Chains A and B, each alone.
Chain A
């Protein structure tokens, strides 16, 4: 029964899917999928969330402006607030994406959000792979200003495994003094979490876009040198 139901999903889904495949046909450039998993819990309300929105805007604009990265980078956004994570932006070509506007409220379901992000990355990779489009191993940016309100064990294990196998690059970022860097570290065995200076999201996203551009034009495989992380880290 279940199978039967799935075979006749609403038509617009298939159309969307078909469009997304067409994009992969039209643009054969090797892809860099990037998933932003962002804390939008109640504590982010006010200035933090508006600074975060500015940062995302800046990030997407910077990538769109780079000829190569615009055709190479793909961005998805998962927000976590309320009771459940929410997919704010799914993978497709950047040119067709509207920049999401995030609002803050509710709890901090970080574990579920990371799981959602990893699932989306997995599916996207599968999509590249079945279509036959080259891709670089994905990136996951995890940002929080607090501590999770759900169980993160499974999600953290999965993300660590992938990172250790060099199948995922995790960028764990703490926002403000309440951010629990120790929890963040559980997701990222290879890159130590860093704390954002004040609410300087823009500096971070600027750095991130430069890194994306560097990867999309990368010269020697995985040994891409990311630009120096100046201005946003507090090490």
Chain B
């Protein structure tokens, strides 16, 4: 929806629950203020909304207090920025009533827009459009912020059926519809941490038959279910869609072991009801009541490996994505991982095939039955995500530590930010396992450089990362001081912040090294037949001129390198590149792998943990 057009045409009203809706923060901090400023418009705010927010500030529920605090903060900024007008008084009726009254009174005079998360109120306000007694050529627009943080119109018909379904499913849940931001927060139940692998339970259990497509299975919680569609198969068994819309994993005979059963029973004892974590919901039995699998919630999307980790696939699946989407995606995944870590659950086999991506905010962790639970290990793993100290070890034979897991977490974040690139892949490298074991993280930090960072877009992407992020990778990969999940969340929030402030490039694949604006100058490429002007770091230019080196643009550098490489590979028979030759080429003064000019804008921006927003930037400009 074009917010500019809406702001230009309509008077905007926003109710309390929208102000307090976490997914609305981006909209309220960025899109809306931007539109208001450019149209010189304001949001109309009933004073009762402020009263309600103030009341929530004192709520006993931490989450509500937190949301109210955020709302209050934003409203204050709106007031300071003069893009909000209050009206009414504390003597008004409830907000709902006030809104209805105001809309009834003004709907013939102005086009009115109302942003709410409350379906009932939205419906009531929308009904005013159809009031026949008073004819009006003005229109009332009723909007909501959807779960992706986007402004969208209410769709009452669709919602109706959805709601009915939801009611059926969760009839026991709190009926208090006045507070749509349901405050109920489950009490955290931590699983015990295992000390030693439980042994002697790897023997297969006797199973007479494995249920097939279209056959019935039985469960305790959901009754008998039919396997209606095969949606996947793996080394351990097959995945089916069941007749109640859930997903069911049916193991192969060889995978049905005592260990599996015991682990699943523990997982069922500690139910996890968090969207995006496909936790076991119930055991599955065949017609002879023998254990054969488990039920889990449905996941949507494509595996990370098949949607993000190859550039053409990334561009095909998410053509509009920018760097900030990758950061958001990493944060969305980290949030799930943190949720598990808080409960002493180690994923173990964290890998890009077990994470499904619907979009940058909706992700699903699948294959949860392989997680490490108490003394039951995660028996599998992949090379890239395995810490050097446990490379080549048999995964079923020991319990992974959080330190091992943090290596996997760092690798995952790296491979999201540098889409698909393994952190230890490097020039003159070898197999993934060798590279990790050698432990030589090839990317530069400050003056530390191995000169072995891979060719292509990777060193450019690296150079555009904030210093804090680079340092975090460095500590995790080079100094074995691995960051924990919470620390990574902080690091990435800071990255998100620097991008949103415009300090760092939002480009997915930047075309050159990062050059801070005040250090940027231009040079003319001195390669024959080029002569193009290009951006260069002022210090580098100086250094190159002093050393009598040619100034060459990135494109020509790449071409020269390519020609050399080709000559080395195909030039003459037996002339296989020796390292010396490569070395002499590199010391040409143009080392594309060096990133000696560090600039971390965030260090200049003061405290970096604040949320970023267009609004704050805007106001900060006027501060001094």
User: Contact residues of A with B, CB < 8 Å?
Assistant: 2-3, 6-7, 9, 13-14, 17-18, 21, 24-30, 67-68, 71, 122-123, 126-127, 129-137, 217-223
Contact = CB atoms under 8 A, between A and B. Distances in A.
A135 B424 CA distance: 12
Contacts of A130: 427-428, 455, 565, 568, 577, 582
A126 B431 contact: no
B578 to A, nearest CB: 11
B306 interface: yes
Closest CB pairs A-B (n = 3):
A132-B454, A25-B456, A221-B433
Contacts of B562: 14, 17-18, 21
Given A126-B569, A135-B431, A27 B457 contact: no
B306 A67 contact: yes
B453 interface: yes
Contacts of A6: 567, 571-572
A130 B430 CA distance: 11
Nearest to B349: A219
Contact of A126 (B306, B455, B563, B576): B576
A221 B433 CA distance: 6
Contact of B420 (A28, A127, A131, A135): A28
Contacts of A127: 565, 569
B432 A134 contact: yes
Interface stretch (B27-35, B93-101, B260-268, B377-385): B377-385
Interface of B: 305-306, 309-312, 353, 380-384, 391-392, 395, 418-422, 424-433, 435, 442, 452-458, 559, 562-563, 565-572, 576-577, 582
A27 B420 contact: yes
A26 B431 contact: no
Nearest to B437: A221
A3 B571 CA distance: 8
A129 B427 CA distance: 5
B567 A220 contact: no
A226 B582 CA distance: 37
15 contacts: A9-B566, A24-B456, A28-B419, A30-B384, A68-B306, A71-B310, A126-B569, A126-B577, A129-B427, A130-B565, A131-B427, A133-B425, A133-B454, A134-B430, A221-B383
Contact of A131 (B395, B418, B454): B454
Contacts of A25: 311, 455-457
B455 A21 contact: yes
Contacts of B428: 129-130
A7 B312 CA distance: 32
Contact of A137 (B312, B431, B565): B431
B576 to A, nearest CB: 7
Contacts of B452: 132
Contacts of A122: 576
A28 B569 contact: no
A18 B564 CA distance: 12
Nearest to A71: B310
A18 B454 CA distance: 16
A148 B454 CA distance: 41
A89 to B, nearest CB: 17
Contacts of B565: 17, 21, 127, 130
Given A7-B563, A137-B431, A218-B383, A28 B576 contact: no
Nearest to A21: B562
A218 to B, nearest CB: 7
A220 B392 contact: yes
A137 B306 CA distance: 23
A194 B40 CA distance: 81
A134 B311 contact: no
A219 B432 contact: no
Contact of A221 (B306, B392, B563, B571): B392
A122 to B, nearest CB: 7
Contacts of A28: 309-310, 418-422, 425, 454, 458
Contacts of B391: 221
Given A14-B566, A68-B305, A126-B569, A134 B422 contact: yes
